[in-house]
Amino acid sequence: MIRVGLADDQQLFTAGMAMVIDSQPDMAVAWEATDGAEAVTRQRTDPVDLLLMDVQMPGTDGLIATRTLVSAGERCRVVVLTTFDTDEYVIEGIEAGAAGFLLKNTPPEELLAALRTVHRGDSVISAKSTRRLLRHVRPLLGGRSGPSAPPARGTLRALESLTPREREILTAMARGYTNTEICELLVLSMPTVKTHVGHVLAKTGSRDRVQAVLFAFRTGLVDQEDLLREA
């Protein structure tokens, strides 16, 4: 059973969200919190597997709460919720350590699928959000609109340590593919893909998939201009 926590100050929204989640045989809402500080406290006393965290809440907002939980090493995976699909929230949510970013108007079927995806250890940062992240940081990575600098020697060694298959996996990650989509793309089993993703994260020194994506851009494994043209 996937235990879910809800953190949102809009009680009507959380009530509706709880009904959707509790209708599933493999999920249950364990508790609800009205702000980030309460969510942090509840997670420490009654841990859940997934935490749906609103961005805008009175007092401690969702981004601060997410940073607090991630830095404390809490095991729950946080999915950030917001009403607005803006660059600022996507970037800050990713930087805070969230495992996903969803709009509040996401259809119930997509929401449930996203929760199961995150619970499996994947992310729900879409290709669109990955491109948004790239636009935000591309001046730091080099390219036509920003300064260009060769990758550090250690970074190049890390790239050279990747096997051809691991490079394929990292390229797919950088293009916004989930583990399930990588399975279909490369005709691999889920355990095999998860093993390769773990090796990629370890060899590149990446905390999560987003850092691995930035590694792919910094080393030139994925062409920034090509990815942006796909948007």
Model confidence at 164: pLDDT above 80:
yes
Name beta bridge partners: 1: none
- Alpha carbon distances (Å) from 46 to 1, 41, 97: 15, 8, 21
Residue 64's nearest CA partner among 93, 22, 85 is 93
Indicate the residue type of 9. Answer: D
Confidence of residue 49 (pLDDT cuts 50, 70, 90): very high
Can you list the positions of beta strands (E) in 185-224? none
- The token duo for 7 is 């953190």
Model confidence at 68: pLDDT above 80:
yes
Instruction: Return the number of other C-beta atoms located less than 10 Å from residue 103's C-beta.
Output: 13
pLDDT cut 90: percent of the chain above it: 43
Indicate the residue type of 17. Answer: M
Q: What are phi and psi of 205, to 5 degrees?
A: 65, 35
Name, in order, each residue with C-beta under 8 angstroms of 56's C-beta and a sequence gap of 6 or more: 62, 82, 83
| 136-161: pLDDT as tens digits | 555 544 444 443 455 566 778 899 99
Of the spans 124-128, 194-198, 208-212, which averages the highest pLDDT?
A: 194-198
Q: What is the mean pLDDT of residues 197-211?
A: 85
**Rg (alpha carbons) of the chain, rounded to whole number:** 18
In the chain, which residue ranges form alpha helices assigned H by DSSP?
A: 11-22, 36-45, 62-71, 87-96, 108-119, 127-141, 153-160, 164-174, 179-186, 190-204, 209-218, 224-229
pTM for the whole structure? 0.65
Instruction: Determine the 3-state secondary structure of 219 from DSSP.
Output: coil
**Residue 192 and residue 10: Cα distance in Å, rounded?**
41
Dihedral of alpha carbons 27, 29, 30, 35, sign: positive
Least confident of 109-113, 201-205, 212-216: 212-216
- pLDDT value at residue 189: 95
Q: Edge-to-edge, what's the strand order for the sheet holding 77-82?
A: 27-33, 2-7, 50-54, 77-82, 100-103
| 88-142: pLDDT as tens digits | 666 677 677 888 778 788 889 888 988 998 888 776 665 555 555 555 555 544 4
